[in-house]
Structure 1
Amino acid sequence: MIEEEYIRLIFGLKMRQIRNEKDLSLFGLAKKTGLSKSYLNEIEKGKKYPKRDKILLLAEALDTNYDDLVSLKLDKNLAPIGEILQSKILKEIPLDIFGIRESDLIDIIADAPLKVNAFITTLFEIAKNYNLTRESFFLAALRSYQEAHDNYFEVYEQQVEQFAKAYSIDLNQKLEVNDLEEILIEEYGYTINNEELTQHRELDKLRSVFVPSSKTLLVSSESDTSQRMFIYAKEIAYNYLQITDRLYTFSWIQFERFDQVFNNFVASYFAGALLIPKKRLVQSLKSFFNQPHFQADAFEALVANFTDSPETFYQRLTNILPHDFNLKNLFFLRFRYKPERGAIQLTKELHITNSLDPHGNEHNEHYCRRWVSIRNLQVLPESELTQLSDAQISSYTHTENEYLVLSTATKDPFRSGYYRSIALGIMVSPLAVQTIKFLKSEHLVRRTVGITCESCSLQACEERVAPAYKIERDERYARTGQVVQSLFEKYK
């Protein structure tokens, strides 16, 4: 069934369009129909739908026929708005997490339908050009929500402490996988199967599947301890927080609604906070930051004290550093690399900062090889190490901002033959220098970096793997502009 709200809005949009075409004001239409101006305004905003006798009055006053006025068919100027409204995309956009009501957007559309239509059409064109999917839209909305809250959520931190108290878990000690498995089995009635997934070649990249009807958790036998810990912690979160609209697979996911994406984030946040408790992490970070020099082995020992997964640790830092150390200008990046192919792919990013650098790109450009995270990715496959951590201070060619970048590269736990690196950037500021003592160390490598080779202005760069065609294009346009301006001056 077509929603009444949609019918009201389409009628109002058509009525306003016809009235404007007739150069008729609301006051003038009110005079011709005998209807109040406020009532007509509510009709045009989609808040009211007139009865048949009033529609006849309006059709006569607007010099159109009844059938055209009540038809849901829109002309080409308004068709994109009709499509977006009928597709129920407004229902899917997570407006509430940003404090926006759907009625607010309806009012905006009703107030300036042609301008909104042009804006929507532009967004659709951008989405098509960049191959943006519904899933990428939802994930972008989630990232914006995280960034708007500095990626810290006190309510989930408190719920983890309440859970630990209720189940006699000592957050001052590193959890064991058996601790979480026992809770799932004894408290929530789970059956854990470690054999089924490995029997299906199509599921070789999956680490877990949950079957809700029998509370069976299928876990890949190839999952290492850190992966299993995170899977168990997420399942506990779903149960303890009583989340039912959820995802059932890890790490490959397919979702139908934004709520599932959001709830997956909530469960992941709870899991990270449970595996890496806030109070213990803050104490350990204060001690680490007080060291006069950055030492990779000390950093890896810090990570290992909490988890065997560097990514889980780095993710947790994006929660704690903004809130407990007031270091709010951060970025988080995850790269994937297969040596045989040579291509480096950015697979995850989060910016809790006033800058979006460094960022992903949709044009298969070459990320700067001067980044410590890229260097680690290329060095690790040639070494006998299982992981490689390093740090550097990066200054970008097009901005005055500097970042302390911590990075760890490991074999990709989900893809054979692949490697991954995690990078956390902390903007260098007076507060950061005061908090992190080794920022003053003369041993810390400092490098000027770009975003991608194609957009980098560095002239002498031994690491460059592609020409800076974007810089060259901009310089060519600038020279053209200068010559054109000189002609204006010559012939004015």
Structure 2
Amino acid sequence: MIEEEYIRLIFGLKMKQIRTDKNLSLFGLAKLTGLSKSYLNEIEKGKKYPKRDKIVLLADALETNYDNMVSLKLDKNLAPIGEILQSRILKEIPLDIFGIKESDLIDIIAEAPLKVNAFISTLFEIAKHYNLTRESFFLAALRSYQEAHNNYFEEIENQVEKFAKAYSIDLSKRLKVSDLEEILIEEYSYTINNQELTQHKELNNLRSVFVPSSKTLFVSSETDDSQRLFIYAKEIAYNFLNISDRLFTFSWIKFESFDQVLNNFLASYFAGALLIPRKGLVVALKEFFEQEQFDNESFQKLMYNFTDSPETFFQRLTNILPKEFNLKNLFFLRFAYKPQREFQLTKELHITNLLEPHANERNEHYCRRWVSIRTLGEIANENSDFEVFDAQVSSYVHTDNEYFVLSSATRDPFRSGYYRSIALGIMISAHSTSKISFLGSEKLKRNKVGVTCETCAILDCNERVAPPRTLERKERFSKTDQVVQDIMEKYK
């Protein structure tokens, strides 16, 4: 059933187009029809739909017929707008989390339909060119939501502490699998099955599946304790936070709406905050940041005091550092790699938009000097089951920015034959150096880096795997433009 709002808007768009095609002002149309200018304006903005007798009056004044006026068919100039309005995409876009009302967008569309149509068509072309999907759009919206809040959510932090108090959980001690399993079974009536998933080869990449009708949680027997802890903590989050619109697999394989994507994030946030409580982490980080020198073993010891999962720990740092240390110039990256294939950036978060690197959609080769790529290459070459950890100061060749980057590479626990690395970057500045003493150390490993080989100006790079084609083309165009400008100046 087509919404009344859509019908009103389409009628208003058509009326405005016919009127402007005839070079007729609203004032002029009002004179011809005897209808008020303000009433006609509200019709064109889709706020009102005229009765039949007034449509006949308008059709006569605009020298068209009644059927054309009420038809929902739009000409080619307005057709994309009709498609986007009828497709319900405005209902799917999570406008509310950014403080935008759907009516605001409709007002903009009604005000300048042809310009908005050109803009929408451009976005569609970009989306097709870069193969952007509904899935990638929602994940991008989620990242923007996280970044807008500095990836810190006080309400969830408080809910974790409320949960711990209600269930007599000591947050100063590391949780055990049995602690959370008991709550799921006794409090939320879960049945936990550890055998079913391993009997289906198609489910090798899944660690858990939840069946809500029977409250059965299927967990892969291949999960280690840190993975199982996170799965249990997420399930507790869904129940304790009363989230019903949720995903039922981990890792997720599909979603029906943005709400499910957002709720999955909130449950994951709760899980991370439960497994690595903020108070204990803040105390430990303050002590660690007072050290004058950085060494890998000390950081790994700090991490493993809280969790055996580097990804959970690095993700948790993106929550705590902006809030408790005012370190907001951060980035988080997760790379995946299978030997003989390209490195894939599968997850990224930038607390501020200043930071590099970002994912590229042009199939360019990420800089091999990044510590996250280097650790990933090392562990794959060694075919190791142990973590490869390293850190360096990365100085980008095309900017004055420097970042202290930590990276941990391990086997991918979800995909056979794959490895993955987690990286956390902290921009080096007067502020960050005042918070983290060792950032001022001259003993830190340093490396000059680019973004991709195709855009990199480091000519003597031994790690380069592709020529700087994009940079060369840009420089060639620049030289051509300069010669054109010289000729124009000479013969003006």
For normalisation by structure 2, the TM-score amounts to 0.98
Matches within 5 A, 1:10-409: 10-339=10-339, 341-383=340-382, 386-409=386-409
Gaps of 5+ in 1: none
Distance (Å, rounded) in 2 between the aligned partners of 1:425 and 1:353: 12
Q: Residue 257 of structure 1: CA displacement?
A: 0.6
Q: Work out whether residues 294 and 391 of structure 1, in 8 Å CA contact, stay in contact via their aligned partners in 2.
A: no
Residue 491 of structure 1: how far off its partner (Å): 2.2
8 Å contact 2:210–2:216 — kept in the other structure?
yes
- Select between 80-89 and 412-421 the one with higher mean Cα deviation: 412-421
CA distance in 2 between counterparts of 1:94 and 1:141 reads 8
Please report how far the alpha carbon of residue 426 of structure 1 lies from its aligned counterpart in structure 2 after TM superposition.
Answer: 0.6
Question: What is the letter of the counterpart of residue 66 of structure 2?
Answer: Y
Structure 2: how far apart are the matches of 1:313 and 1:107?
A: 45
Equivalent residue number for residue 425 of structure 2: 425
> Partners in 2 of 1:400 and 1:15 — Cα distance?
54
Q: CA deviation at 1:442?
A: 2.0
**In structure 1, what is the Cα distance between the partners aligned to 2:253 and 2:470?**
36
- The CA distance in 1 between the partners of 2:369 and 2:113, in whole Å, is 48
CA offsets, 1:340-369, max 9 Å, x none? x14211100011113141011112211111
Amino acid in structure 2 at the alignment position of 1:273? A
- Are 2:329 and 2:355, in contact at CA under 8 Å, matched by a contact in 1? no
- Per-residue CA deviations over 1:201-257 (Å, capped at 9, x if unaligned) read 111000000000000000000111111111100000000000000000011320011
State the distance in 2 between where 1:445 and 1:63 align. Answer: 77
CA distance in 1, matches of 2:472, 2:385: 40
- The residue identity in structure 2 corresponding to 1:344 is F
Separation in 2, partners of 1:217, 1:380: 33
Q: Which amino acid aligns with 1:358?
A: P
Deviation at 1:16, TM superposition (A): 0.5
After superposition, the C-alpha distances for 1:302-346 in whole angstroms (9 at most, x for unaligned) are 11111111001100111000000000011100001112x142111
RMSD, matched Cα: 1.0
Taking the aligned partners of 1:456 and 1:174, their CA distance within structure 2 comes to 45
Q: Deviations over 1:11-46 (max 9, x none)?
A: 000001011101111111111111111111111111
* Separation in 1, partners of 2:441, 2:356: 24
Letter in 2 for 1:255: F
SS in 1 for 2:306: coil
Gaps of 5+ in 2: none
Shift of 1:415: 1.2
Structure-1 residue corresponding to 2:474: 474
Q: State how far apart, in whole Å, the 2-side matches of 1:382 and 1:432 are.
A: 35
**Corresponding residue of 1:440:** 440
Q: Which stretch has the larger CA shift, 81-90 or 458-467?
A: 458-467
Structure 1, 292-301 or 162-171: larger mean CA deviation:
292-301
Instruction: Please give the per-residue CA displacement for 1:96-140, whole angstroms capped at 9, x wherever unaligned.
Output: 000000000000000000000000000000000111110111110
Q: 2: distance between equivalents of 1:69 and 1:389? A: 68
Say which SS state the counterpart of residue 118 (structure 2) adopts: helix
Contact 1:205/1:252 (<8 A) preserved: no
Distance 1:241 1:62 in 2: 57
C-alpha deviation, 1:157, in angstroms: 0.4
Residue deviations 1:368-410 (CA, integer Å, cap 9, x gap)? 1111111111112344560021111111122211111111111
Contact 2:385 2:411 in 1 (8 A): no
Would the aligned equivalents of 2:143 and 2:349 in 1 still touch at CA under 8 Å? yes
Give how far 1:443 is off: 1.7
In structure 1, what residue type is equivalent to 2:323? Answer: H
Q: CA deviation at 1:486?
A: 1.9
Between 181-190 and 382-391, the greater mean CA deviation after superposition: 382-391
Given residue 162 of structure 1, which amino acid in structure 2 is its aligned partner?
K
Does the Cα contact within 8 Å between 1:290 and 1:436 map onto a contact in 2?
A: yes
Specify the alignment match of 1:487 in structure 2. Answer: 487
Partner Cα distance (2:192, 2:142) in 1: 31
Q: What percent of counterpart residues are identical?
A: 75
Contact 1:396–1:449, Cα closer than 8 Å, also in 2: yes
Deviation at 1:480, TM superposition (A): 0.8
Q: Is the partner of 1:331 in helix, strand or coil?
A: strand
Contact 2:330 2:355 in 1 (8 A): no
Structure 2 distance, partners of 1:425, 1:309, is: 18
Rounded to whole Å, the distance in 2 between the matches of 1:412 and 1:300 is 19
**d(CA) in 2 for partners of 1:397 and 1:85?**
45
CA distance in 2, matches of 1:142, 1:224: 28
Q: Report SS of the residue matched to 1:305.
A: helix
Aligned counterparts of 1:57 and 1:117: Cα–Cα separation in 2: 29
The CA deviation at 1:447 is: 1.4
